[in-house]
Structure formats: structure tokens, C-alpha cells
Structure 1
């Protein structure tokens, strides 16, 4: 084996440019595959992180505007959800719908504590709002069912807004802040979410409706659901649900603009489909890049065999076995792909780590919220090793064809070859 390595090294030194170009093709193929997968994973992880802000099997219902005339009524009528819509949601769809809640807003409220204050939106919600929207409570608690039952004037404030009122946010728990002309007891502080404005102050749904005279206005309805696992099941449920709510407002059963449904489950299915397409495209591009390296190795091996035809003829004439020639060329192919493939893998890993350190948590600030565009743009070490092993195996196969040709050459023919 030592003699073979020495011979291969001698051949490589005599053909430096050819060996370097072949190695570059191999290394570039591995590098581009790992780099592309890392960049793609960064975008995909950002989308997954964004979607993870909500409970997947949940739905939010908004009032809209009718887009079709119905029962003598013209299109373009505004639809405001009412308490009867919440009741119908809770009572008539129990086979699929879990806990039902709603949210209703009162904007432009000044919240003050001593001399400190900020302007906010007061939002009346049910306890399930915290679970559906995945609010993280860092101290205290969220709105509970007793708050709803007793119409308690309680408040849950964001971490950022709490710091505007007091340096020690925990000291606010149990204290009263003034929202508008009404005192609210602070019962919890929730963690800021960079993707939202974080200026909302939550209170009990029933208290806000009474304080601001909302009557039978329901605001927006939100609920979790179960038993809807396919796109078809979700579409059928949405049709039934929309037709029922539309009936409460004299709107056409199939008028999709009268009531807007934000189904996070189908949105998640669409996102997963898109992610699958992106991953497939990245792998296809990466594999074609690998293929270019494999073709380069194969071409170089073919050229090597042609150039050394007379040499192989002499070897066979003095007693060399076909297997020795076969082994020489295959070994050369394996060594080239292994060394340069490993170098390409290390460069790809280094590039991904650099991306992760520089733009791995890139955020776009819109002025209202921050959106993360790139998260953890890296590839698992298992993928890196598998890609390198694939290149080595493919390089071996690429060298097998010219190796067999060299092993089968007849000495007399080789000696007369130009």
C-alpha cells in the first residue's frame, strides 16, 4: 500500500493543475451542498419559530363585510360578531371545538402608576387567550375564570411597559394602576414578544365590556379545536361554521368575506408544504453540484488511463496482474475524493458557523414589530458526514469504469498506443 501511495503522490505532483482542478470540483460540490442546506435551514427555522407563536390547532374569527347580496340585502354590509355568535360556537360545535373565548379592544387608554404612564390598548380576553397565543408569564398570573365570573378589574402588563412604570416590575404585582379613569389591579407581567408591539394590557373580558358599554358586541372569537387533522376535514368544518355564523347576520352561507377565519392549522400545513418544497429544491441543487464533482473525477481518471496506457501495457507485459492496475486507479480516485471532500466539508461547516455567528438571529425592524428572518443557519454533522461519504463512494464508482478499462487492456495494444 505504501508503494501505491508513493506512486499516486508522484503522479499528482507531475499533474498538479489537473489534480488541483479535480480536487476543487469535489470540495466545491461538498461545500455548496452544506452551505445551501445551512442557508435554507436558517430561513426554514425562522418560519417555524414564527409559526410557533400560536397554538397550531386554534382558530380566530373576525367580522368582515358581505361580498354578496342576500335575502334582499346588498353587499358591502359590515359584520360585527355578537354574543350570540360566541354562544353558537360554544354550544353547536362541541364535537370539534374545545374552550371558546373572545377578545375585545378599547384603544387609546392611558395607563399610569404614580408619575409614570404610557398609552396602550386595553384588551378584554378569556383565560384561553394565553394558551392560544402562547403568552409567557414571567411573574404573577394571567386572567382566570374567576376574573371572568366576577368581572374583576385586573391587569396583565407586558414586561417592557411594566419597566416604564417601575424599575422593579415584580413590585407591581398586587398594586393598582390607573387605566383611563378606572383602577386595575396588576396580577401578572408577560414576556415581550419582538414580533408584536407589546403595548397591550389584558383584562377580563366581562369587566371591559361593562366598563366601556360594549353591549352584545363580541369582538373577535378564538378557540382551540380537535379532530380536524386533514385539509378536507378543516375545509368542511370551516364551511359549516361559516354558514352558521353568517346565518346570524343575514349573509350568504358561502360568503367568505362576511366572516374571516384564521385557521392556524391549515396555515401550518401550507407552511410545512412550502418548507418541504424548499428542502427538496435545496437538495436537488446540492446533489447536482455534487454530481459535477463526480463527473470531474471520472473525467480525470479517464484522462489518466489514456495517458498511462503504455505504462500499463509494460506493467502487464512484465507480469502485473489486472487487479494491481485496477487497485491503483481506484485507490487514486478514493484518495482524491476523500482528501478534497473532507476539506470541502470543513469549509462548509466553517461557513455555516460564520453565518450563525453573524446573521443567525437577523431581525427586520418594521417600526411596529421585529421579525426574525434567519435562525440557526447550520446543518447537522450527520448530514455533513453523509454528504462526504456519498462523494467518496461516488468518486470510487467514477474511477471504477476507467480502472476496468485499464485492467483489461492487452499489452501488445498498449505498447503500440500513441
Structure 2
């Protein structure tokens, strides 16, 4: 039950020892405050890096041809490996491959419309590239299979190209000239993997035909059906062995065919962040423990200072439970109030930092066509985690206060009255 006399006595004791109470509460508040800061910072860094990864498909893989560096089956090193459309047909039907797009490079791309012109990058591709690179369509559509089959002179312009050439005018259905060859604009897009949208996309079959590419492809962009590191490595090895057999080079020869498996980087990076989070929790927990030890030490001092008072209480009939309750309530009050202050200050500071980060992100996005640059995003702490940490701190503070309270309850009145 609520005993107003007991609470008045606790507040009187706290008021009498302001500096001691402040320092005790500060150690507790600082512990929970630092835990919130550490967790929020760790989350912010993890979220920022994760967002950068997500701009392209997480399970993306890129392949490119090169020159052999290892002799193979009587063939000397130094042979050029050349990908063709036949390789695309093999890869798109290979087990473990979801989306596939080939690319033929076109150099020195001059785009013009009316009196406007500029140098941009023309990427020849298959329709699946939209899924591999998370390309966002702003207006119109992306390259489709009909464009490929009929070798249409269709083009999807990056947002920066559209802004430079059309100046907010309608572009869909208009013709732009790529190296003096007219292409019909079928879409406007933003690229998922960057903040500059200076690429244009045309059907790979059209690029090969118009720009004398024959059936040549320079690289492939794929997504793989894998969720673990082992699965992704197995699919990568299957792809490498398939291409090695077809082009007769050693599968271990990375100079003959280069590859980049993004999922490997994502998984390894997330493991690093998991380790960082564990390290943060260890540091934060250590800080909290230091605060709890401080509460325990202060309660021991309180019991020592009030030994004679406790003896008098017991001599006039106070029960051991009332003595324990008095010390415990003081410990719980200090821990709860200080922990709450630390929680509010920590979460408040992280929300303020989040507000500043989001403002900077919006400015970056506004100046880069919709994609903001960041390695630090949403540095906040889950409310459930914050409340759980505070509750555990209160429980730990209660236990810390119980030890000296139990000791006080065992003091015999005659010994307490003799205490100097």
C-alpha cells in the first residue's frame, strides 16, 4: 500500500543528500543515455549501408569477358574471350538464374534533340535489366521483348538526359538522335544504383545492328535465386563452369571471365554490422552495470549512515520487511527517475539527429533527381528495446538496493545503538 510517511522520509533523505543523489542518478542516466546513443548510431550506419545495397538487386551478379591467363586443353594463354547472344540464351535458362540481361558497349554517344545536345551513356540491354538494377520508370515504359524481337529504335532516357534535352516538355513519342540516328523515346527513368541519371537504354538487338556489333555482348547482369552465401557461391561456380566449357578456358581463370557477386558483399557486410551491434551491447551493458554498481555502493553508504536510526526503528517495533522496503524504495526511485531521464535524453537526441539527417537526405535527393546519398539513415532505437533496457536497469537497481537493505534488516537493535 502507498505509505505517504515513508515517501516523505525518502524525499527528505534525498533532499538532505543532494550531491550524493545527483551523482548516483547521473551514473544511471548516463548509462542508459550512452546505450541509446550507441544503439542509435549503430542502427543509423547499418540502415545507411543497407539502403545503398538495396539500390540494386541484393542478389545481383555481373559477368564480363577478358583474356585467358592460363593454358587450357592445348590452347595458349592470351586468348580473348568474346561473349555472344548464344551465351545469353545459355545463361537465362541456367538453374539458379532469375533475371538476365546482356550488354553491348557503344562508345562516344552524342544525344541531341532540336538545339539541345550532350554526351551521355547509351546502354544496350534486355528487359530484365530493369529488375537487376531496380530502374524506376518515371513516365512511359522500359525496353520490352517486342523491342528486342523487332529491333526497334526505342530509347528510355535517364531523368538527367530528359531534363537537359526536353526542359520539362513531353518526351514520350518524340525522337532523339543518338550519334545522328533517330530513336523514339518510350520512357523516362531513374537509376536505382546512383544519384545521377545520365544513362539511356536501348534494345540490345538494335544496338548490335545499328552500331555494327554483330552478335557481340560485352557483359551480363544477372540476379540469382539465392539467400545464403553458400547458395550464391554454388550458383556463381555453376555459371563459371558453364561459360568455361563453352569458351574453353580454365574455370579458375578469373582473367578470362571476371565476376562480381553482390550477395557475398551484402552478407559479409551484414555480418560485420551484427558483430558491431553485439560489441555496442557489450559496451552499453557495461556502462549500465557501472551505474547499477554505483547505486549499490550508495545504498551501502546510506545503510551505514543510518545504522543508529535503523536500530531505533527496530527497537520500537519496526519489522525487517519495513526496513528493507524503505531502502528498496529509495533505490528504485533513484534508478527509475534517472533511467527515464537518460532514456528521454538519448532517444530525443537520436530523433534530433534523425531529423537533421533526413533534411540533408531530402536536399541531396532534390539535387540528384530523387536519389539521396547517405551512409547514415534513421539512427533511432526501437521503443520496445529502449523500454526493455530501462526496465532491466530498474530491476538491476532494485537488486542492487536489496543487498544493503537485507543487511540493514539483519542489524540487531543493541548493535545499531552502539554504532558511532
Q: What do residues 120-145 of structure 1 show as CA deviations (whole Å, max 9, x unaligned)?
A: 11111111101111111011000000
Specify the alignment match of 2:280 in structure 1.
Answer: 282
Q: Return the offset for 1:29.
A: 0.7
Specify the alignment match of 1:146 in structure 2.
Answer: 146
Specify whether residues 8 and 64 from structure 1 end up closer, same or farther in structure 2 by C-alpha distance, changes over 3 A only. Answer: farther
The answer to whether the Cα contact below 8 Å between 1:361 and 1:375 also exists between their aligned partners in 2 is no
Specify whether residues 250 and 150 from structure 1 end up closer, same or farther in structure 2 by C-alpha distance, changes over 3 A only. Answer: same
Specify the alignment match of 1:130 in structure 2.
Answer: 130
The answer to whether the Cα contact below 8 Å between 1:361 and 1:374 also exists between their aligned partners in 2 is no
Q: Return the offset for 1:255.
A: 2.0
Residue 376 of structure 1, aligned match among 375, 378, 386: 378
Specify the alignment match of 2:155 in structure 1.
Answer: 155
The answer to whether the Cα contact below 8 Å between 1:239 and 1:254 also exists between their aligned partners in 2 is no
The answer to whether the Cα contact below 8 Å between 2:58 and 2:262 also exists between their aligned partners in 1 is yes
Specify the alignment match of 1:63 in structure 2.
Answer: 65
Q: Return the offset for 1:74.
A: 5.2
Q: CA RMSD in A?
A: 2.3
Q: Which runs of no fewer than 5 residues in structure 2 stay unpaired?
A: none
Residue 254 of structure 1, aligned match among 252, 255, 279: 252
Question: Counterparts in 2 of 1:10-409, with a 5 A limit?
Answer: 10-73=12-75, 75=77, 78-91=80-93, 93=94, 95-169=95-169, 171-191=170-190, 195-226=194-225, 228-360=226-358, 371-409=373-411
TM-score of the superposed pair, with normalisation by structure 1: 0.92
Matched residues in 2 for 1:96 and 1:122: separation? Answer: 29
TM-score of the superposed pair, with normalisation by structure 2: 0.92
Matched residues in 1 for 2:149 and 2:315: separation? Answer: 100
Q: Return the offset for 1:375.
A: 0.8
Specify whether residues 21 and 257 from structure 1 end up closer, same or farther in structure 2 by C-alpha distance, changes over 3 A only. Answer: farther
The answer to whether the Cα contact below 8 Å between 2:126 and 2:145 also exists between their aligned partners in 1 is yes
Secondary structure of the 2:62 match is: strand
Specify whether residues 301 and 110 from structure 1 end up closer, same or farther in structure 2 by C-alpha distance, changes over 3 A only. Answer: same
**Greater mean alpha carbon deviation, residues 96-105 or residues 295-304:** 96-105
| Number of aligned residues | 413
Matched residues in 1 for 2:358 and 2:287: separation? Answer: 25
Q: Which runs of no fewer than 5 residues in structure 1 stay unpaired?
A: none
Secondary structure of the 1:253 match is: coil
Matched residues in 2 for 1:59 and 1:403: separation? Answer: 64
Q: What do residues 235-270 of structure 1 show as CA deviations (whole Å, max 9, x unaligned)?
A: 222222212212333321222343222223333322
Secondary structure of the 1:10 match is: helix
